[in-house]
Amino acid sequence: MASRKKVQNTHMDGRLRELHGALLDIAAMMNRPQRDEMLIREAGIPLDRALFPLLVSVERFGPIGVVELADRVGRDYTTVSRQVAKLESLGLVKRRGSVADRRVREAAITPKGKAVTDLVDAARERIGRTIFETWDARDFEDLVRLMRKFADAVKDELPAGLPQAPAR
């Protein structure tokens, strides 16, 4: 049975560095252009690699404003705006005014764009099954549960009690 004991600082000292190293390895792998090219090829879709993460992000997080989308993919919003226009010209996304803030233009997935991301999801599933085929089912379930818990804990802001960056 798993222990319900909270993580103690003495236990975390070396392990946080190891966790950070693993996250850097994962981020580096996820940001490699070859990874996107492999998924595009495996999915059999004719999409420019630069547009790929934008399309997937619009499908996952949309409707989404260009500034937020640019922040999520780590690109300048003017570049992302031009790339979203390209996705729109391909019929993969549509742009519209935000219901919450009329000044914001949001990108939303179209049925054609959803069909493309469905092909990407199927390709990701095939690749993932290969990666995890030797894993115990319980280990995989624990990984998914703990990654979600970690992502939820860090996604919005620093934990309470930590100093915030000065306002600009």
Q: What is d(CA 11, CA 31) in angstroms, rounded to the nearest whole number?
A: 31
Q: Is 1.10.10.10 the CATH classification of the domain at 15-153?
A: yes
Task: Assign 50 to helix, strand or coil.
Answer: coil
Query: Contact 124/130 with Cβ under 8 angstroms?
Result: no
The one-digit pLDDT tens for each residue of the chain (168 residues) are 555 556 555 566 788 889 999 999 998 988 888 888 999 999 999 999 999 999 999 999 989 999 999 999 989 999 999 999 999 999 999 998 878 777 788 999 999 999 999 999 999 999 999 999 999 999 999 999 999 999 998 886 655 555 555 554
Eight-state DSSP code of residue 90: T
Task: Assign 145 to helix, strand or coil.
Answer: helix
- CA geometry: angle 130, 154, 125, nearest 5 deg: 15
